[in-house]
Structure 1
Amino acid sequence: MLTRRVVLLAAGLVIAGTFAAQAQQAKYVAKIGHLEAATQPRHKGLEKVAALVKERTNGEVEFQLYPASQLGNARQMVEGAQLGSSEGTVMPAAFLGGFNPVVSVLDIPFIMPEDRAKSQALRDGPFGQAILDSFTKRGLVAIAIWPNGRKSVTSAKPLAGVDSFKGQKFRVMDSRILIQQFAGVGAAAIAIPFGELYTALQTGVVDGQENPLDTISTMKYYEVQKDLVVSNHGAMEDLVLFNPAWWNSLPEGHRDVIVKAFLEVRPQVETLKEEVQTLAFNQIKEAGVNVRVLGDAERADWRARMFPPARDAYLERAGAEGKAVMEVYEAEAKKLGLAN
């Protein structure tokens, strides 16, 4: 009899536990995929956002994170968020230009100033909103722009000044804007897949490349490059994208919580990225690479040569939509005291 009582009690506890688990189960679950490893700043930031969202919605919204391309490559993750096989993705703007030409405005060199507060003002103001709004008619809800580092330039040949670019060949992503960026300083640019870049540098197919410092360090490009200029010329910006049907199924209060969480965590992601960049800078320097940091006067010279042809390539690609976004940028840049 005692044994039967124990069994019944245990069974009751199991049932109660099941009901408790169901009561705590999230009403709205979002699978969110991205490209970076779980150890990198983007994922750490997403973990912070997920925790805030869960807490502030009393467990009703749960983000399930899938780093390191677990949900597919960039195109597959964007299409998944569009079609609803996943609920969201955080994707670099550089991978979205073929899908949404408007966002390629962020590929233009020196579009974002070095001043952190002014860059943030551009993201938060009409310029950033225009970029976010451009995703609506393309079947996605874009709610935030997250900074994810800045690009610098390396070469196997000297980079003593802007005229040193002449005659050199640089690897870029497949982007007319980036090709014209280097044309502006007299260099050739070749689109080469990321996975083939180290070999291309090693064998001299190209002389140099552009990437954030942590990528240069992680991929060991410093082993086959002699010069590094910390130029911060190219902004690496992430777009936070959600499936419209899932997003619209949320109560308005939950949508507000999610947006505010992404904005709240954004400065922490930027700080984490800066810390990683500093470690990478030191590692590259210790490897014997000739390192220098771009000064203000030289930065202005680089911008004066690179920005116009890259901007023109963007306008040709993005048409009337792109022209409208550039007009917003120019107006906001003027307010912030930035060069156009």
Structure 2
Amino acid sequence: MNALNKFAKFTRGVLLAGATGILAASAAEAADYTAKIGHLESDQQSRNIYLQKVAELVKERTKGEVEFQIFPSGQLGNQREMTEAVQLGVLEATVSPAAFIGGFNPAVSILDIPFLLPADAEKAQKLREGPFGAALLESFSSKGVVGVALWPNGLKNFTSNKPLDNLEDFAGQKFRVMDSKILIEQFDALGASAIALPFGELYTSLQTGVVDGQENPLDTIQRMKFNEVQKYLVVSEHGAMEDVVLFNPTWWNNLPADYQAIITAAFAEVVPELRAHKAKAVEAALATIKESDINVRVASDEEKAALREKMYDKSKAAYIERAGDTGKNLIAVYEKAYSEVQ
């Protein structure tokens, strides 16, 4: 199937989803502004649960004039298809993992830099809502979409089939990463090598020794059963997994300014509950992981600081090389904001 036919099929899917939403709401008075919002997580996961909460808040506070219809589990396509559909106006909005849209907007790959956000959740939120977050969201405007919010969606941790008792243990090990020069440099700084592999191949690659280890949030490690084919886990919380809320600019700019403010505020308001829900999922995942044979160790604050010092500069240089002047300017904003929240 060629690209044009793929997009035609995707467009028909979005239109069908829209028609389904209209039929479902036929008994109610139609909203003045309706947005279909697509994303990849299941309806039981944190992202979807709190998107529904945002939809409720927005509907209530606009007296029913703005309605969000949420489509989880990739119902409207893969992330690239949804992002492009938002850009073209076929879809009103999507909530995307930042790691999935670095090719679309290289500036967002700043979130690949290890230990970018403070360990303290409140300090991290100040970065999201402050000048750094605003500058990162603004970087999407030149890509034909409107960045409305950043949402936390977990932290990555290291696992391996070889010991990870200290920084020196990383040397010579092979880790699977997403296809990111920044993540490759992150491991190079530790004397390790990184191999970009599709996520679907990771379990088998760990099992057969193609790679020694990997990095992912605890709930992902547990859900994908990586703990069954790994011997060591370090709860390092070194990598931020952030979501970006993107809207089509035509739809967004047609909203009254007070509705834009209501939507933006609703996305920010639910973050504490979103974090708490995610934390429970992570806590449950860790408990399940500990029941397996894997050795679990929690990194100390001192170890995390040493890891950050080791990895930050090389990862930052790789990011600036990729994102150019935009990235260099965003790093300057970030470093100033980071120093102010410490």
TM-score (norm 2): 0.91
Indicate if the aligned counterparts of 2:158 and 2:216 stay in contact, CA closer than 8 A: yes
- Quote the residue 2:11 is aligned against: none
CA distance in 1, matches of 2:246, 2:271: 15
CA distance in 2, matches of 1:321, 1:143: 19
What number of residue pairs does the alignment pair up?
A: 319
* 2:80 is aligned with 1:75: yes
Three-state SS of the structure 2 residue aligned to 1:272 is helix
CA distance in 1, matches of 2:339, 2:58: 36
- Quote the residue 1:222 is aligned against: 227
CA distance in 1, matches of 2:263, 2:118: 27
Amino acid at match of 1:319: G
Which whole-Å deviations, capped at 9, do the CAs of 1:203-228 have from their partners, x for residues lacking one?
11001000000000000000100000
Instruction: Specify which of 180, 186, 189 is matched with residue 191 of structure 2.
Output: 186
TM-superposed CA distance for 1:23, in Å, is: 6.8
TM-superposed CA distance for 1:172, in Å, is: 0.4
Q: Which runs of 4+ in 1 moved over 3 A?
A: 20-23
- Quote the residue 2:290 is aligned against: 285
TM-superposed CA distance for 1:129, in Å, is: 0.5
Alignment of 1:227-266 (within 5 A): 227-266=232-271
- Quote the residue 1:317 is aligned against: 322
Indicate if the aligned counterparts of 2:39 and 2:72 stay in contact, CA closer than 8 A: yes
- Quote the residue 1:9 is aligned against: none
User: Which consecutive unaligned segments of at least 5 residues does structure 1 have?
Assistant: 1-17
CA distance in 2, matches of 1:90, 1:117: 22
Which whole-Å deviations, capped at 9, do the CAs of 1:39-71 have from their partners, x for residues lacking one?
100000101001111111111111111111111
TM-superposed CA distance for 1:336, in Å, is: 2.0
* 2:200 is aligned with 1:195: yes
TM-superposed CA distance for 1:330, in Å, is: 1.1
Identity of aligned residues (%): 58
The two structures, once aligned, show a CA RMSD in angstroms of 1.3
TM-score (norm 1): 0.92
Three-state SS of the structure 1 residue aligned to 2:77 is coil
User: Which consecutive unaligned segments of at least 5 residues does structure 2 have?
Assistant: 1-22
Which whole-Å deviations, capped at 9, do the CAs of 1:258-283 have from their partners, x for residues lacking one?
11110111111111111100000111
Three-state SS of the structure 1 residue aligned to 2:270 is helix
CA distance in 2, matches of 1:249, 1:22: 26
Instruction: Specify which of 298, 303, 310 is matched with residue 305 of structure 1.
Output: 310
Amino acid at match of 1:231: S
Instruction: Specify which of 21, 38, 46 is matched with residue 33 of structure 1.
Output: 38
TM-superposed CA distance for 1:288, in Å, is: 2.1
- Quote the residue 2:7 is aligned against: none
TM-superposed CA distance for 1:307, in Å, is: 1.0
CA distance in 2, matches of 1:171, 1:21: 48
Alignment of 1:1-340 (within 5 A): 24-337=29-342
Indicate if the aligned counterparts of 2:107 and 2:139 stay in contact, CA closer than 8 A: yes
Kindly name which structure, 1 or 2, has the bigger radius of gyration based on alpha carbons. Answer: 1
TM-superposed CA distance for 1:21, in Å, is: 5.6
CA distance in 2, matches of 1:290, 1:210: 15
Indicate if the aligned counterparts of 2:228 and 2:293 stay in contact, CA closer than 8 A: no
CA distance in 2, matches of 1:241, 1:179: 27
CA distance in 1, matches of 2:299, 2:42: 30
CA distance in 2, matches of 1:251, 1:90: 22
Three-state SS of the structure 2 residue aligned to 1:24 is coil
